[in-house]
Structure 1
Amino acid sequence: MKQNTTVRSEIEEYIRQSGVDLQSFSNSIGLDPPMLSAMLHSNPLTMSIEQLDLITAGMGLSEGKLFELYIVECFETTNPDWERIRPFLNRCAELNRHDSIRKVLSGLVKDSNQTTEIFDAAEFLLERGLQEAAAIIYQSVIETEELNHSERLAISYYRLFQIYRQDGHKSFMIAMQFIPYRHRLPDAYALDGLLMLTQLFAVKQKWDEVENYSVELSQLAENIYLKQQQWEDPEFNPSRPLVYYYAQGYLFKAGSYEHRGMFEESKKWIAKYADMSWLERLDEIGISEVERFKMYAKANLLSIEIKEGDLTRVSEYLDFLKQYPDELVDGLTTLLDTSNRNNVFIDEYLDVFADKIAQYKINHKEGWNNQTVTYYYKEPFYSYRFHLFFRKYALYCFRKNLLREGLENVLKSFRLSFNINSKDGMVNSMALFEMHRPHATEAQQSVYSGICKEVWEYEENLRPFGDSIYDG
């Protein structure tokens, strides 16, 4: 567009070049001609975003083509009101015009009196699933909010953590920003916030942190439960039943001990979530959660007993895994880990689930020759589970002298470790590959070099900001 053009001048130029008059153009787009004429001669421009869309389409332009001019005329040269800003932000979000959202917000953040409206706009977009646009607006709230102790500021940090929790590279940095504000959240949000922190640090294998936040989670759930009037209040509306958070706190604390080899301590906490039926007034969903955690307790207790060397429990464990296939990845990891540490082979057990293992390999197939990479799980916590499985499976293959198959599993573990930004996982994968590099095929070496390049480029991109891929 030419310099100093306006929405009006663009419309007038279109009418002149197309050879139609204003009335014909108005009728063709479904606008009343006097109304369009009045809009074009108003100063400032009084056109709504809906009317702008009709005009844009009538001129044969792409959606959002006139947004930049509209921003200048409606929001930069006048004192805009939210009756016009809100619909415009919503439309920008629908079209992924995030540049336009930022441009509007850059003028609004100068006025801290607009913070409430900006926050409400972000909440509305998040409810509609427009997460990236909502994240931009929450960041604007953070920049605008003058009161560090405000609940709105805490919720904005929490929302950003929610939005980016599945991003293995952004989630840790955003979590660090959220942590100081976690105690300022409403309890319903605080439950989910603490659970997300617990899961994040489990993925990072920072077990002391897992223990700390799991304790906070179960204590908060207990405090809410003891304040019976609070959790019975219709305004208290967490995303899951209270028993779920109570039990998750115990489950992750038990897991933090298990991963540190403190099996007896872990058993004590497993016993706590093995039966949560003592909680009063459980509804149907709550009762189903009690049963689910009872199943988790059985699985994790069997897992620990096998890790302790009691191989007489393997048959029972296999029956359990057949009954609950969602627990199979963790179960196979337990069996492989026990096998590797006790220097025994368990082919007869792995053969039982050969079809599932083959499917896991397909679902996590690394792209060869720059093909698209397909992953079955996107959640970092699930990627973490598969990263452990493939690493233990690689060690098992190396013990059997199945070197190329072992390297294939190393590459899968390496990829998943990078996806979730796991320092330990990446270092272990690189060490295993280098130890067995002489046996790698050209294709395997090419994939390995490609992932290494991604690691390097990611760290280089962060370095100017004082961050590092290994900080998390």
Structure 2
Amino acid sequence: MKHTSTICAELEGFIKREEMTLHHFAGTSGINAGTLSGILNGNRPIAIGQLDRMTYAMGLPEGSLYDLYVDEFFAPQAPHWRRLRPFMLRCAELKKYGCIQRISNRLCKDFWHISGIFNTAEILFEKGLYEAAAILYESVVDSEHSSHMERLAISYYRLFQIYQGDCRKGYKAVIQFLPYRYRLPEAYALNGLLLLAEVYAVRSSWTEVENYADELSELAVKLYKRQVWKSDDFNPDHPLVYYYGKSYLFKAASYEYRGMFEEARNWISQYADLSWFEGLDQQGLDEVNKLKSLAEANFINLEIKAGDRNRIPEYVCFLEEHPDEIVEGLTILLESANRYHFFIDEILFKFSYKIEQYGNVDTDHRLTQRVATNSYPEKLSYNLRCSVFFQNFAVYNFRKGLHREGIKNLLYSMAISVTLNNKEHIFNSMVMFELYRRFASDQQCQTYNNLCRNLWDHEKVNILGGSNRVYV
């Protein structure tokens, strides 16, 4: 029975139009003439590599025949995963997402294929082919009948990772993931709780940050008591001490950002010295030292925020030795300077080269999907810190009467906040802009209007259901 009639018809038509022999086409495509004959006679299926070589020999763009291939893949019945998975990988590489969706829709009619769909999604995720993986994870979520299946929890977790930077899908992914966070394998659960704390920190939702930091601490303590580091099956992305320390770091941050400095100091002390932690390898020791260094800096942060200017020279030395902390450090110095009415021009000049870099962060305010990687949460955190820095720098400029410069920095902050969907910071930027609008140039007003329009283009989806464009 012929399984490739449509593709064969395309191939036969091409050979006839080009007045080629089968052997000539075999030489051009690199496919054995006997194999080609078997394919044309319907006696053997087409492998994906052979299809790609045929497509190239016919002068067609890569993947041009994939839509036809999907239909004939299922004649007379669904193919084995040995052939199907390589095809789906090629579809993902060529961004043929429609083909993946069609295959998934067909396979989901048979419950026994869900395991293969999930395993393929995991392969795609590991290869960084996130959009294709998301299609398959969505299929697992829609088709899995048992809420206790581990692959269902992992699918929700992966969708959370993939969509965390998407302003609309990200919120839905968080809500869907929450009930499944403790049905994950424990190593994934640690990452999931950490990611929840990070995502809510970017949104300045400090009550939620504190809640998930508490859950992360409780899970880390439970695993520590079980001495999980002795098991070869326990392979989280980071040492256990990292999650334990991070839980207290987020806890301290939630109090610090709300101005509750004494409470923040108590929580900082919880991760200041974790050398007592058992089961530390070199990576774990490195994390302990990083947390210790952060704690020392954060203790100084609190004193500077409380108005102690005598600690500033020491803190500047720390920032010079730890350039990754400069944006956070400058923000703290600006907050203190604005609150207690002093100036730090010499320090800002010293780090002016870094400030210039902060103005070049990703401010794509089309609000497109952001895909998770291992470094993605750190990128979100970095962008958040840049947004806060520029808001404080704008206030500092306004205090000095540098209104155009202040508005420039305010617009930097707003652009970054829009990409993060941090409504608190967006609101702050809009209020300050309106207060100083009379000092803005025409170009600055146009930039502000463009940011507002892009923000509305996203928000109207939630407010109006995405229907009927509203012009403002």
Q: Which moved more, 1:348-357 or 1:279-288?
A: 348-357
Q: Distance in 2 between matches of 1:320 and 1:424?
A: 30
Aligned residue type for 1:176: I
Partner of 1:405: 405
Give SS of 2:74's match.
helix
Q: Distance in 1 between matches of 2:171 and 2:302?
A: 29
Q: Distance in 2 between matches of 1:429 and 1:360?
A: 17
Measured against aligned partners, the alpha-carbon deviations of 1:74-97 in whole angstroms (never above 9, x if no partner) come to 126523221221111011011111
- In the alignment, structure 1 residue 215 sits paired with structure 2 residue 219: no
Structure 2 gaps, min length 5: 366-375, 468-472
**Given that residues 366 and 412 in structure 1 are in contact (C-alpha distance below 8 angstroms), is that contact kept between their aligned partners in structure 2?**
no
Aligned residue type for 1:203: V
With a CA cutoff of 8 Å and minimum separation of 6, indicate the structure with the bigger relative contact order: 2
CA gap 1:426/1:5 in 2 versus in 1, 3 angstroms: farther
Partner of 1:26: 26
Partner of 1:386: 386
- In the alignment, structure 1 residue 71 sits paired with structure 2 residue 98: no
Q: CA deviation at 1:35?
A: 2.0
Q: Distance in 2 between matches of 1:97 and 1:222?
A: 45
Measured against aligned partners, the alpha-carbon deviations of 1:292-344 in whole angstroms (never above 9, x if no partner) come to 00011011111111111222211211111111111111111111111111222
Partner of 2:258: 260
**Given that residues 157 and 178 in structure 1 are in contact (C-alpha distance below 8 angstroms), is that contact kept between their aligned partners in structure 2?**
yes
Aligned residue type for 1:258: E
Partner of 1:446: 446
**Given that residues 157 and 192 in structure 2 are in contact (C-alpha distance below 8 angstroms), is that contact kept between their aligned partners in structure 1?**
yes
Once the two structures are superposed, the pairs formed by residues 410-421 of structure 1 within 5 Å of their partners are: 410-421=410-421
**Given that residues 299 and 317 in structure 1 are in contact (C-alpha distance below 8 angstroms), is that contact kept between their aligned partners in structure 2?**
yes
Partner of 2:368: none
Aligned residue type for 1:92: C
Measured against aligned partners, the alpha-carbon deviations of 1:20-41 in whole angstroms (never above 9, x if no partner) come to 1223222332222222222222
**Given that residues 122 and 135 in structure 1 are in contact (C-alpha distance below 8 angstroms), is that contact kept between their aligned partners in structure 2?**
yes
**Given that residues 363 and 415 in structure 2 are in contact (C-alpha distance below 8 angstroms), is that contact kept between their aligned partners in structure 1?**
no
CA gap 1:227/1:69 in 2 versus in 1, 3 angstroms: same
How many equivalent residue pairs?
454
Aligned CA RMSD, in angstroms, stands at 2.2
Q: Distance in 1 between matches of 2:342 and 2:123?
A: 57
Q: Distance in 2 between matches of 1:365 and 1:128?
A: 26
Structure 1 gaps, min length 5: 368-375, 468-472
Give SS of 2:235's match.
coil
CA gap 1:244/1:98 in 2 versus in 1, 3 angstroms: same
Measured against aligned partners, the alpha-carbon deviations of 1:68-117 in whole angstroms (never above 9, x if no partner) come to 11111112652322122111101101111111111111111111211110
- In the alignment, structure 1 residue 434 sits paired with structure 2 residue 434: yes
Partner of 2:320: 322
CA gap 1:58/1:332 in 2 versus in 1, 3 angstroms: same
Q: Distance in 2 between matches of 1:460 and 1:466?
A: 6
- In the alignment, structure 1 residue 456 sits paired with structure 2 residue 456: yes
Q: CA deviation at 1:362?
A: 5.0
**Given that residues 460 and 466 in structure 2 are in contact (C-alpha distance below 8 angstroms), is that contact kept between their aligned partners in structure 1?**
no
Q: CA deviation at 1:5?
A: 7.8
Q: Distance in 1 between matches of 2:185 and 2:364?
A: 42
Measured against aligned partners, the alpha-carbon deviations of 1:131-155 in whole angstroms (never above 9, x if no partner) come to 2211111111111111112110000
- Percent identity, aligned pairs only, is 46
Aligned residue type for 2:66: F
Q: Distance in 2 between matches of 1:34 and 1:353?
A: 70
| Runs of 4+ residues deviating >6 angstroms | 364-367
**Given that residues 297 and 315 in structure 2 are in contact (C-alpha distance below 8 angstroms), is that contact kept between their aligned partners in structure 1?**
yes
Q: CA deviation at 1:378?
A: 8.4
**Given that residues 82 and 117 in structure 1 are in contact (C-alpha distance below 8 angstroms), is that contact kept between their aligned partners in structure 2?**
yes
Partner of 2:147: 148
Q: Which moved more, 1:236-245 or 1:304-313?
A: 304-313
Q: Distance in 1 between matches of 2:215 and 2:5?
A: 58
**Given that residues 187 and 234 in structure 2 are in contact (C-alpha distance below 8 angstroms), is that contact kept between their aligned partners in structure 1?**
yes
